[in-house]
């Protein structure tokens, strides 16, 4: 039972968000230099997953302590709120995950130097600050921006830099395309939990936009990445492979617009994460073809 509870606590359905940017950044580097340093790539992947697990665990405990995870919460069960573990136990597990990521980061710093050190330290700090400290990111309108920057721009460009010691326009374009559906995952979460979040004084971007504009933002975050092949100006013909994911995106939009906010949005959230994973896999394959 404990193993299953810990597995639920780390939120495995969302971990693809940290896998995809490393995959895409590494694939682009492979395409550009016809080779890949596998050990740094795998280490970057491990560090990214560990940071996200740490963030998820700390979020689990912190939301419970701040009163955001109550009995009327619409999302999946949370370990601390369900009483499976104490807040202290979950925070300790988060610390172990962050510490493990730091240890992996020592090797990455040796390979990539100061730019990778900076990205790593910022990522660890942001992972804690997401629900920790006096002004948590998750309790403000900046949550989606946080995801876009750390699971898009920094993760893709950092993975590319680790392999090539440079950042290119194409790596930045890929980072933007990957960061948008990652941010959409959080938007779904905040859209679903709008009322309970407000009661906990968790004033997210959806609170400030309202549901109608939040729906419009979701459309942009899901569809704009499919313009990526146009942004490449036909220099990477394989990138057109991503359009195979467009029907899935359109189906998700239909679900998002027609389902009332409630438990059904748990499936929409999971499928938005799957869309980002599908998009990233298709892009990676297209880049190296």
d(CA 113, CA 238): 32
pLDDT at 96: 94
Give yes or no for residue 110 having a pLDDT over 80.
Answer: yes
Give yes or no for residue 69 having a pLDDT over 90.
Answer: no
Q: Which pLDDT tens digit goes with each residue over 204-248?
A: 999 999 999 999 999 999 999 999 888 886 678 888 999 999 999
Q: Length of the chain in residues, anyone?
A: 289
Q: Which two tokens stand for residue 33?
A: 């230099």
Q: Which candidate, 59, 53, 13, 8, places its Cα nearest to that of 276?
A: 13
Compute the average pLDDT of residues 131-143.
85
Query: How is the chain split into domains, by residue range?
Result: 2-288
Give yes or no for residue 152 having a pLDDT over 60.
Answer: yes
Residue 213: other Cβ atoms inside 10 A = 12
Give yes or no for residue 289 having a pLDDT over 90.
Answer: no
Q: Which of 34-43, 63-72, 170-179, 213-222 has the lowest mean pLDDT?
A: 63-72
Compute the average pLDDT of residues 246-272.
93
Place of tokens 């569809």: 223
Q: Which two tokens stand for residue 11?
A: 């939120």
Tell me the pTM.
Answer: 0.92
pLDDT at 202: 87
CATH T-level fold of 2-288: Farnesyl Diphosphate Synthase (1.10.600)
**Max mean pLDDT range (83-97, 132-146, 255-269, 271-285):** 271-285
């Amino acid at each position: 039972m404990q193993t299953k509870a810990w597995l639920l606590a780390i939120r495995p359905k969302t971990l693809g968000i940290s896998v995809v940017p490393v995959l895409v950044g590494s694939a682009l580097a492979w395409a550009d230099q016809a080779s890949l340093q596998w050990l740094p790539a795998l280490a970057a992947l491990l560090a990214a997953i560990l940071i996200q697990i740490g963030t998820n665990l700390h979020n689990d405990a912190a939301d419970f302590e701040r009163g955001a995870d109550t009995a009327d919460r619409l999302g999946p069960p949370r370990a601390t709120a369900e009483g499976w573990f104490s807040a202290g136990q979950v925070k300790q597990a988060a610390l172990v995950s962050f510490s493990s990521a730091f240890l992996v980061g020592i090797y990455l710093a040796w390979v990539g130097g100061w730019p990778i050190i900076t990205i790593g330290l910022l990522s660890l700090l942001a992972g804690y600050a997401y629900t920790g400290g006096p002004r948590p990111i998750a309790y403000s309108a900046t949550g989606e921006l946080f995801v876009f920057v750390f699971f898009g721009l920094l993760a893709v460009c950092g993975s590319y830099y680790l392999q090539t010691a440079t950042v290119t326009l194409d790596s930045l374009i890929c980072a933007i395309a990957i960061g948008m559906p990652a941010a959409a995952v959080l938007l779904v979460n905040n859209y679903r939990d709008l009322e309970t979040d407000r009661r906990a004084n968790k004033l997210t971007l959806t609170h400030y936009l309202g549901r109608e504009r939040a729906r419009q933002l979701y459309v942009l975050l899901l569809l704009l990445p499919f313009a990526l092949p146009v942004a490449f100006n036909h220099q990477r013909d394989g990138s057109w492979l991503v359009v195979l994911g467009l029907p899935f995106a359109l189906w998700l939009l239909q679900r998002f617009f027609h389902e009332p906010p409630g438990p059904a949005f748990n499936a929409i959230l999971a499928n938005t994460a799957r869309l980002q994973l599908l998009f990233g896999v298709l892009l990676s394959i297209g880049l190296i073809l």
